[in-house]
Each structure stands twice: as C-alpha cells, then as structure tokens.
Amino acid sequence: MARSCSIIFKQDSLAICSARAPNDSCSCARTRRKNPKRIIRSMVRHVKYFLGLRFEVTGWEHLQTEGPYVIISNHQSSLDVLGLMEILPDRCTMIAKKELIYAGTVGLICWLGGIVFINRKKTSDAKSVMADAAKTMLDEQIRLWVFPEGTRNQKGDLLPFKKGAFHLAVQAQVPIIPVVFSSYSSFYLRKEKQFNSGTITLKILPKIETKGMTSEDISSLSDKCFNVMRSAFLNISESVTQSNGPLRH
C-alpha cells in the first residue's frame, strides 16, 4: 500500500527556509557551479525517500555524449529537481527563470548549484544571457539544462516551447538531448495539496544535432523536439499511471 501524506507546498517547493536573492551574473554562476552535483545532492538526497518516490530511468546511453550539449525537459513542479539529480551529468548546470531564486529551499539549492538565472520579462536580458551562456559552454566545456516550457505545467500535456534553448544550442552549435518526465498526476495534485508515494519515469531521448543550423532553423528545431518529447510524455505517462494506480485521498 502506498504511503500517503498531505504536504503543503509553498510556491510548489518544499519550503523550509527562504534565500536572499544573490547577484545572478554569469561570473557569479561560474564560481558557484564548481561542484553543483555535490552541493545539491547533499541537500536533496533524502527527500525522495521521505516522500516515497522511486525513479525509473531509460536511455542512459544518450547522456554519454562527449563535450557540451543542451538538455531540455518538461517542467511540472519543483519535484523535477529530484529527478534531475538522478541523471545530472558531469559539468552540467541549469538555466531558470529569475523568480525561482525566491522559491524557498529550492531557490537556495539552485543558487548554490550555480544555476544561471534569466529575467524573462526583459527580452534583451534573456538574449544577452543566452549569448553569454553559449560562449561559456564552449569555453568551459559545460552542459546546460533548460525547461523550454518556461513555467510549471501539470495539465497533462506539454505547453508550447519557448525558443531560448534552441537559440542557445544553435549559437553554440551543440546537440540537444531531450529528457522527459512522466506525469505526476497519479500521485500529486498540487491544487488539492494531495501527495502519495509513487513512481516517476525519466526517458532520455537520442540527441538532436544542430551543426550547420542557423537562426532560420529555430522554429523547425523547436517543433521537432516538441513532437518527440510530447509523444514520449504521453506514452510513459500512461504506463506509469497504470503502475501507480489511482490517487488515494
């Protein structure tokens, strides 16, 4: 029988404390991400056990790609951080919206892990950060994780993708590796503050090359990634929902 508990999420995070917003410049991020996996894992490693969550991962081989690349994934809640830490490759950090800094413990974890924050309301700022990020990826041979939906989404399907991640990959001429989280709806209803133990499937898809692409290819690249990820999301979500069973109230 699944262990059931009711958890109040503050801004959809396991809010224990609040973090004061730091300077979010790329130079600051480089200092903070010296060892993001060690920092973040030390803070979240027990959370999945406390919540009764289990992760099943397929497609590990696709992360064995050498050099820099961009990982894109769907974004449902702050629980994504737990799945992210299951597969986070070496020399990888994230790009996230600036508002996440204020999301309690998750915001603190993200800042300590060297997350690159962008202000989505300022297009010029976002483009500048993406350009700097592309240069940093190549100079330091790092990988970046981006949520192209741009916001949390638990509507049972993917939201249209924003173009930032694809501009980044094309500017840097690096491959994109899609990662898909199965739906959380079989064990987590945010509005009802209902949470049960359950299984989350992560599917890592084959890389999509961007070499030779230009800004004119951004829309078709985004559409291609969206279609393969949506197909995978619907497929694995159906399977994991049957495995988890109905949500217990």
Q: Cα(212)–Cα(124) distance, rounded to whole angstroms?
A: 25
Domains in the chain: how many in total?
A: 1
Q: Cα(50)–Cα(68) distance, rounded to whole angstroms?
A: 34
Residue 56, SS3 per DSSP:
strand
Q: What percent of the chain has pLDDT over 90?
A: 38
Please give the sequence-ordered ranges of beta strands (E in DSSP) within 79-209, or none if there are none. 92-97, 116-118, 143-146, 176-181, 188-189, 194-196, 198-204
Helix (H) or strand (E) segment spanning residue 72 = strand 70-73
What the block records as the tokens of 220 is 């078709």
Identify which of 88, 111, 143 has the alpha carbon closest to the alpha carbon of residue 13: 111
- How far, rounded to the nearest angstrom, does the alpha carbon of residue 243 sit from its chain's CA centroid? 24
Beta bridge pairs of residue 92: 143
Query: Is 103 inside a domain boundary?
Result: yes
State the DSSP string of 1-34: ---EE--PPBTTB--S---------HHHHHHHTT
Query: Is 152 inside a domain boundary?
Result: yes
* Sequence-distant (≥ 6) Cβ neighbours of residue 231 within 8 angstroms: none
Query: Is 71 inside a domain boundary?
Result: yes
User: Which of 52-56, 108-112, 213-217, 241-245 shows the lowest mean pLDDT across its residues?
Assistant: 241-245
Query: Is 163 inside a domain boundary?
Result: yes
For the segment 13-32, the average pLDDT, to the nearest whole number, is 37
Cα angle for residues 220, 223, 226 (degrees, 5° grid): 150
Domain carrying residue 171: 4-243
Query: Is 124 inside a domain boundary?
Result: yes
Predicted TM-score of the model (pTM): 0.77
What the block records as the tokens of 94 is 């994230």
Beta bridge pairs of residue 117: 96
Query: Is 249 inside a domain boundary?
Result: no
Q: How confident is the model at residue 215 (pLDDT cuts 50, 70, 90)?
A: very high
Sign of the Cα pseudo-torsion (233, 14, 96, 125, in order)? positive
* Burial track 200-227 (b if 16+ CB lie within 10 A, e otherwise): bbbbbbebbebeebeeeebeebbeebbe
More confident residue, 2 or 217: 217
What the block records as the tokens of 195 is 């949470």
Query: Is 136 inside a domain boundary?
Result: yes
> pLDDT tens for residues 48-87?
888 888 899 999 999 999 999 999 999 998 888 888 888 9
- What is the reported pLDDT for 16? 27
pLDDT at 1 over 80: no
- What is the reported pLDDT for 107? 74
Query: Is 248 inside a domain boundary?
Result: no
> pLDDT tens for residues 158-181?
999 999 999 999 999 999 999 999
Q: Cα(173)–Cα(115) distance, rounded to whole angstroms?
A: 21
For the domain that residue 149 is a member of, what is the CATH number? 3.40.1130.10
